[in-house]
A and B are shown apart, each in its own frame.
Chain A
Amino acid sequence: MDKLREKAAALLADGTVTMVLGYEEGTNKPRPVFCHTAEQASKLVYSSQCINNLAVYLTKKEIMGTGKVAVIATIPTLRSILQLSVENQLNEENLLVITVTDKEEVKEFANFAEIESYIADFQLKLDAKEQEIIDKLEGMSREERFKFWMEEMSHCFKCYACRAACPLCYCTKCIVEENRPQWINPWAAPLANMEWQINRAMHMAGRCTGCGACGDACPVGIPIHLLTRKMMEDLAPEFGFTPGQPSKNGNALSTWKADDKENFIR
């Protein structure tokens, strides 16, 4: 931790960056912090409890400003940074990416290619609790699955915390805010909630990096990250990308292959 704070303080003190985006102690767990001065860098922490995905701030112009910014990235954040870069949302010159390795070393990435080779060693997989829910769902009949998801959806009150926490939801006007025509009903009701989640999962197809920020952010505890994760896992072999790695073959839904396989079109 000290090495991290020293590094951040140095970057701010010598003006290499105008801001260091990292984590500080929060009420129950670490939370995002924005350090503008070397003194503020002493608040920085880094642990397995840092679960917010900081990449969500990298597309907010009002936060990033115009200077160079450093971000202290966890593995999920690194994945999101790569995906954002593939989608041309990040300026590599104005972003300095730092991580803390398993051996507590502070690692500064020279470029995005380096990040890519670094995260290749970290396999993306669900934790035990999430795998349990997926296994349970896959063991259910279709009707049972529908009941499960509709029961979950009945709790959703359309706060859009899932959208707000997702680094890849950076549209300035979301489809749910479009009202000519109104495609998705913005109010909270089981079907409207279901349509919203389906739409979000479809818009995440092939882009989701499996960080789970959406599920963590949900104030009423709906495991929506499982929807986008399941999509990711299913599409990866079909459309030739590795879960957790940036999709180099272009966006899954705006590209195609002449030999895309299916077994349901007659």
Chain B
Amino acid sequence: MNNNNSEFEPKIVAFVCNWCTYAGADLTGTSRLKYATNVKIVRFPCTGRIDFMLLLKAFAQGADGVIVSGCHPNDCHYTSGNFHARRRWITFRGLLDFMGIDVSRIQYSWVSAAEGAKWADVVNTTVANIRELGPYTEYQKVAGYLDKEEYNG
């Protein structure tokens, strides 16, 4: 755990779908709702397109937390993309937890295009949560492996 929480600014990457959450985030802005600036948003056509490896890549590249967000079930712009995504996340989360990767650093949500306030809340809550957890140095240290690779591991 990090003792310098007051100086630590979490780096969050958000993988969101274009039709719901991205539009919702837009609405947050046009509504002039203030929310934490720690998030870098990556836009996908649909949550069904979000490969599970992307989340791990985000952590390996320095993200301390990840948000994955899309349309509510039954509201997917492509009908069933988010259903596929949900299955994938259920599967992936179980595996990650078994391997000891901190799943509490990944926040999944359904945020529709009308839920500007919800998006702000999701981001703020996630940032506060990650600030509490501290930087994900455990994972980032391993990702820097070849910097000092000793040949027998």
| Chain A interface (Cβ < 8 Å from any Cβ of B) | 137, 140, 142-150, 154-155, 183-184, 189-192, 194-195, 198-199, 201-202, 205-206, 227, 230-231, 234-235, 238-239, 252-258, 260, 262, 264-266
Please determine whether B83 and A146 come into contact, CB atoms closer than 8 angstroms.
Answer: no
Q: A235-B94, A266-B122 are in contact. List 5 more A-B contacts (CB 8 A).
A: A146-B138, A195-B53, A198-B96, A230-B94, A230-B98
The docked-state distance in angstroms from the alpha carbon of A252 to that of B91 is 9
Is B56 part of the binding interface, using a Cβ–Cβ cutoff of 8 Å? Answer: yes
The A interface, classified by DSSP as helix, strand, loop or mixed, is: helix
Is B60 part of the binding interface, using a Cβ–Cβ cutoff of 8 Å? Answer: yes
Query: Given A195-B56, A202-B52: A266 and B107 within 8 A (CB)?
Result: yes
Chain B residues with CB below 8 A from A184, complex form: 53
Please determine whether B146 and A264 come into contact, CB atoms closer than 8 angstroms.
Answer: no
The docked-state distance in angstroms from the alpha carbon of A260 to that of B89 is 11
Please determine whether A227 and B98 come into contact, CB atoms closer than 8 angstroms.
Answer: yes
Chain A residues with CB below 8 A from B108, complex form: 264-266
Map CB proximity to A onto B102-121 as digits: 1 under 8 Å, 0 otherwise: 11000111100000000000
Chain A residues with CB below 8 A from B92, complex form: 202
Q: For A189, give its contact among B83, B94, B145 (CB under 8 Å).
A: B145
Nearest chain B residue, comparing its CB with the CB of A264: B108
| Chain B interface (Cβ < 8 Å from any Cβ of A) | 52-53, 56, 60, 73-74, 80, 83-84, 86-103, 107-110, 122, 138, 142-143, 145-146, 149, 153
Q: For B83, give its contact among A195, A198, A260 (CB under 8 Å).
A: A260
CB proximity of A212 to chain B, nearest CB, Å:
17
Nearest chain A residue, comparing its CB with the CB of B73: A258
Query: Given A191-B143, A195-B53: A252 and B122 within 8 A (CB)?
Result: no
Please determine whether B109 and A189 come into contact, CB atoms closer than 8 angstroms.
Answer: no
Please determine whether B109 and A262 come into contact, CB atoms closer than 8 angstroms.
Answer: no
The docked-state distance in angstroms from the alpha carbon of A99 to that of B1 is 55
Please determine whether B110 and A265 come into contact, CB atoms closer than 8 angstroms.
Answer: yes
Please determine whether A149 and B100 come into contact, CB atoms closer than 8 angstroms.
Answer: yes
Chain B residues with CB below 8 A from A206, complex form: 91
Please determine whether A239 and B74 come into contact, CB atoms closer than 8 angstroms.
Answer: no
CB proximity of A133 to chain B, nearest CB, Å:
12
